[in-house]
């Protein structure tokens, strides 16, 4: 009798202690690594009106610059080329380099801050963040997927700007050699490969902007606040970089090496500044990403 009562007690307790779907209480068929697929999030962001508007504006920017050069052209006062602006109309490659130089300090920073600053704060402002976490999408996966999509959109924007400038410049100014203010000349295929290498360096340098915008994105409920704070930090860094009294301390500023890619335009390339810029951007990105992970995992997402 005692033995039968023990077996009955075991059968009564067993269903209550068995968790549905898995040992962690998950639903049947749930796989954390299948939540929020990258292609789904990327398609959603690409179909947004904001993304389409940004890409269209980037494609149209070179046309605006061509029109500006046409209106401001002064043939009565010729002078030897002194900077990238004077050489912009000499070939499509030079026009591309000038366009990238013009956009490095502000426009590219704004674009990266826009995509990364909206990653988490956008979901929070739409009141959909708590539902994503409740699906449940693991927080580290949510942050990673959002950051990957923002990175892909940022790289796409950079390539659209470069490609549009190269095509527009080649159509108006011809596919000539790439000239530099130091009287250097880069022939084909280097006149095309160098702008692509510039894009590669800018993608690495802007990682500090991306990681800082992501940090502000998990701290703010409004994406505009995250974007504005990121751009503000970049502007302050650029202002401090213009103060001569800071001397050797300017090398510690995250924006100090923004235009180090201009060394690629010399016949004898000095990699020192670009190496320092890569190291600086990587170090800042590591600090900001660590802070982002800690902040997001500790956040109480209830509203």
Q: How confident is the model over 182-241, as pLDDT tens digits?
A: 767 777 788 888 899 999 999 999 999 999 999 999 998 899 999 999 999 999 999 999
Share of the chain above pLDDT 70, in %: 83
**Closest among 270, 239, 243, 238 to 257, alpha carbons compared:** 238
Q: Any idea of the CA torsion for 168, 174, 177, 181, to the nearest 10 degrees?
A: -70
pLDDT tier at 100, thresholds 50, 70, 90: very high
165 and 95 in contact (C-beta within 8 Å)?
A: yes
What is the C-alpha to C-alpha distance for residues 101 and 85, in angstroms, rounded to an integer?
A: 9
pTM of this structure: 0.84
CA distance 186 to 141: 45
* Conformational region of residue 64, where left means phi above 0, alpha means psi within -120 to 50, and beta covers everything else: alpha
- pLDDT at position 51 is 93
Give the residue with greater pLDDT, 34 vs 255. Answer: 255
Q: What is residue 130's predicted lDDT score, i.e. its pLDDT? A: 74
The structure tokens 């580290």 sit at: 140
Report yes or no: 119 and 230 within 8 Å, Cβ to Cβ: no
DSSP tag of 266:
S
Instruction: Check residues 204 and 265 and name the one with the higher pLDDT.
Output: 204
d(CA 206, CA 161): 15
Tokens of 187: 């022939």
Interval 252-267 mean pLDDT:
90
Tokens standing for residue 202: 């800018």
Of residues 208, 204, 212, the one with CA closest to residue 292: 212
Q: Which of 279, 253, 292 lies closest to 140, judged by CA?
A: 292
The reported pLDDT for the residue numbered 81 is 52
Helices (H) and strands (E) in the chain, counts: 13, 2
């Amino acid at each position: 009798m005692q033995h039968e009562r023990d077996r009955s007690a075991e059968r009564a307790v067993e269903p209550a202690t068995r968790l549905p779907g898995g040992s962690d209480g998950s639903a049947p068929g749930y796989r954390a690594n299948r939540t929020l697929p990258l292609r789904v999030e990327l398609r959603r962001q690409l179909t947004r009106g904001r993304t389409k508007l940004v890409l269209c504006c980037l494609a149209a920017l070179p046309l605006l610059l061509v029109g500006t050069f046409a209106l401001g052209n002064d043939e009565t006062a010729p002078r030897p080329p002194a900077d990238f602006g004077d050489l912009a109309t000499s070939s499509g490659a030079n026009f591309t380099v000038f366009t990238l130089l013009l956009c490095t300090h502000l426009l590219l920073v704004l674009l990266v801050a826009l995509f990364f600053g909206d990653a988490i704060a956008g979901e929070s402002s739409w009141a959909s963040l708590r539902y994503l976490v409740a699906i449940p999408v693991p927080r580290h996966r949510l942050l990673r997927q959002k950051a990957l999509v923002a990175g892909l959109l940022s790289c796409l924007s950079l390539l659209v700007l470069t490609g549009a400038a190269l095509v527009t410049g080649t159509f108006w100014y011809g596919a000539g050699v790439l000239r530099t203010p130091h009287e250097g000349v880069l022939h084909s295929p280097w006149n095309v490969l160098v702008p692509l290498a510039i894009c590669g360096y800018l993608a690495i340098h802007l990682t500090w902007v991306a990681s800082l915008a992501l940090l502000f994105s998990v701290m703010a409920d409004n994406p505009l606040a995250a974007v504005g704070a990121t751009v503000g930090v970049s502007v302050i860094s650029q202002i401090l970089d213009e103060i001569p009294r800071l001397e050797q301390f300017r090398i510690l500023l995250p924006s100090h090496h923004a235009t180090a890619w201009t060394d690629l335009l010399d016949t004898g390339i000095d990699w020192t500044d670009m190496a320092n810029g890569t190291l600086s951007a990587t170090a800042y990105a590591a600090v900001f990403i660590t802070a982002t992970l800690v902040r997001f995992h500790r956040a109480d997402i209830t509203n």
